[in-house]
Amino acid sequence: MFDKEFWNLCFIKVIETLLSVKVWVIFSFLAISTYLCIHGFVESGHWATSNASIISVVFALREGFKTAKVKNNTELEKMKNGDPKRNRELDHSKRTIFKIFT
């Protein structure tokens, strides 16, 4: 069912995930806040709130960057294929510039 290539790809994915910055950010904040909570420097309510906030901010930024990348790729495709609305706007601006200089 699972051949050697599958396990190699799984191993590569795990390594890529471990090398990811977001994993280390989350891990470091969890480790530091847990240490502070265990030794009484931070109350448990603050521990939970800060960790939930940090994790949600990291994942929100990740999704935001994904959305921006998709939108950017869509804009690039429109530029390559030619968006009819944009082409009309460009034609109109070219005519206006031509009228100004003639």
Helices 44-81 and 21-38 sit at what angle, rounded to 10 degrees?
170
How many folded domains does the chain comprise? 1
Q: What is the pLDDT of residues 38-76, one digit of tens each?
A: 999 999 999 999 899 988 888 888 777 777 666 666 665
- Where residue 30 falls among pLDDT bands split at 50, 70, 90? very high
Q: State residue 5's pLDDT score.
A: 83
**The model scores a pTM over 0.85:** no
Q: State residue 82's pLDDT score.
A: 61
Report the alpha-carbon distance of residue 3 to residue 46 in Å, rounded.
46
**Which structural domain, as residue segments, surrounds residue 51?**
4-101
CB 65 within 8 A of CB 82: no
